Structure 1
Amino acid sequence: MLSLAKARLRASHDHAFATARQHGAPRSTVAHQQGRKERRVRHLACIGVGLAVLAAGCRPPPSAQRARLLAPEQEVDIGRAAAPRLEERLGGRLDALAVQAYVRTVGERIDRAASGGEWPLRVTVLDSPRAGAFSLPGGPVFLTRGLLALLDSEGALAAVIAHQVAHAGAGHDLRRLGEAPGPRVLADAAAAAALVREGAPLSPAAAAALDRLVVAATEVGYSAEMEAEADALALDYMVAAGYHPGEMVRVAALFESMQGGQGSEFLGVHANPAGRAAGISAAAGRKYLDRGGRIGRPEYQREVLARLKS
């Protein structure tokens, strides 16, 4: 669009200059008039670019949707510093490279739909029977082996990842960690993460700060309000990534059925109010009626469930 505007501007400039000179206008007058016209064309071109951006994606990237409690680089530092401790707390990384690669590919697809790759998202599967999905500031997302075993399709996996990405992008992780019990959990973790980035040794107090952050990330729950916001964002991310919106409804129904039973530990962190699946279904019907999309049940059975059993 800008190149087209420039071409038109150049042709207009040449024509106006030649016409004015034929009528004896001074060069300074022609230059002044043409400068005003050039500014108008550039202004219109910029407006056109802005409209094109809005048309390409009405939802801004996650980081533009909320005020930051920390600078972006601080969030990334915290995630990198705390990730190894969270992995250790929940059984370490699952020793199945094919499963890790498959899950990571789905995560990258969701990340592109959510933020255009703005976040340094990296999804890691942990070798824990606990059914859980967790995230840290700055991009790291963790799913457990126990949670993957409860799902039955790539679409369901995409729904879980999209939900966790929505929590991170909307600032829910920072908010709940900032409100976690204990002294200055988030601020102390940021200070400790800065030491890790600089390669400085961690003092016992700094190490304890990162440990407190990890405990909060895996134990402090999201509020019902946060869950509702994450559901709305995740539904959009799923559809933008090409997945069937009904898969998110199925996952919500699954979690509702797990109340007090298998996988209830997941619900200890993620609030699951009654009627949640019905609410997501209603939203999907309003926004994405008759919208199809990828489900990927055979692929998930082959790439994840079969490998978890082997």
Structure 2
Amino acid sequence: MKSFVFLIILGFAISFAPAAQSWGTGSGSQSLGADVSGAFSQMENALAQRDEDISSQDAYFLGRAVAANILSRYGLYTGKPALTQYLNQICTAITINSPMPEIYGGYHVSILDSPDLNAFATTGGHIFMCRGLLEAVTTEDALAAVLAHEIAHIQLKHSDQIIKNMRLTQALTDVAQRASDIAVREAGLSEREVLFTNYVREMVNTLVVNGYSRDTEFQADSYALTLLALAGYSPASLVEVLTLLQRTAGAGGYNGTHPSPAQRINNVRGALPQYRVQDTSSSRSSRFAGSVR
């Protein structure tokens, strides 16, 4: 099953022989020494695998599992099917002009039935925009700015870093104890299934609860400006979105999972002079009004 392919590729779970109970001399202590030596050798192998890239195919199927979890929390907005199509058209306009126009499974945008002013992107090209944010923006370029920021997370592979960090944590944890073995036996799951579940849980927690780090969000903003310019959208539209979020500070959504909009606005404004894009936003106003309003 493809959803578990990446677990084989990422397999780094460490299996240790039970440590000898004797701490004296003789064969018992030699066995213990061999166990310890083998444990550290396996840990080194696990750490070496930490920075291995995740294949696009594995990223897609992992992203699907994360997307399913997000949908179970929010639900899918189906009130206006044409609106979802409209967002996907904007997404295509951005990605087709980007450095990464094609990924395994493609890019897909869906609307969450939530009043929050928020958006998410999972590894592998799955993008979600909350209904509340969609209703709050006033231009197509602003919608493009939101999508460009989420596409930036995908193309910069920010979710992959979550897995790499978990590899390190898992490796060090397994050296200290084999608590995961107990959990596996109690749950009746294979070790690979537990790893898969842990990856999904950690990604959902990062996207929905804690958010990415400040530096990661700043990187996504910077990259989003380039994506907008390449697609012919106004890079300044990102300031429009961030200003909207700043006015709604304390309302949850982006403000709960992203750094303060104030610093992001300063960073974006400082970078805008390097982009020379003709303002054609007025040509899209009627299309926006007909699709969103």
TM-score range with shorter-chain normalisation? 0.5 to 0.7
Instruction: Write out aligned runs for 1:1-310 (5 A).
Output: 69-119=53-103, 120-176=106-162, 178-179=164-165, 205=194, 208-209=197-198, 210-260=200-250, 262=251, 264-272=252-260, 274-288=262-276, 291-294=278-281, 296-304=284-292, 306=293
| CA separation of 1:179 and 1:271: change in aligned 2, threshold 3 A | farther
Q: Provide Cα deviations, 1:184-243, integer angstroms capped at 9, x if missing partner.
A: 5xxxxxxxxxxxxxxxx9x98478443454333322312221122111111111111111
The SS at the match of 1:275 is: helix
- Name the amino acid aligned to 1:230: A
Tell whether the 8 Å contact from 1:72 to 1:138 is kept in structure 2 after alignment.
yes
Q: Is the 8 A contact 1:133 1:141 kept in 2?
A: yes
Distance 1:274 1:213, change over 3 A: closer
What SS does structure 1 have at the residue aligned with 2:127? Answer: strand
Give 5+ residue unaligned stretches, structure 1.
Answer: 1-66, 185-200
Aligned partners of 1:204 and 1:69: how far apart in 2?
20
> Could you tell me how far apart the structure 2 residues matched to 1:84 and 1:233 are?
27
Q: 1 CA distance for matches of 2:197 and 2:134?
A: 30
Q: Rg larger in 1 or in 2?
A: 1
2-structure distance, mates of 1:125, 1:114 = 23
| 1:132–1:213 CA distance, 2 compared to 1 (3 A) | same
Give the RMSD, CA atoms, in angstroms: 2.9
**Aligned residue pair count:** 220
**Partners of 2:245 and 2:163 in 1: how far apart?**
24
Conservation of the 8 A alpha-carbon contact between 1:176 and 1:220: no
Which amino acid is 1:118 matched to?
A: E
Counterpart Cα distance in 2 of 1:91 and 1:279: 34
Gaps spanning 5+ residues in structure 2: where?
Answer: 1-50, 171-189
Q: Residues 230, 208 of structure 1: CA spacing in aligned structure 2 closer, same or farther, 3 A cutoff? A: closer
Shift of 1:68: 5.9
* Cα distance in 2 for residues equivalent to 1:204 and 1:226: 29
Task: Quote the sequence identity (%).
Answer: 27
CA contact (8 A) 1:87 1:126 kept: yes
Give the TM-score of the pair, scaled to structure 1. Answer: 0.63
TM-score by structure 2 length?
A: 0.66
Q: 1:159 to 1:68 in 2, by over 3 A?
A: farther
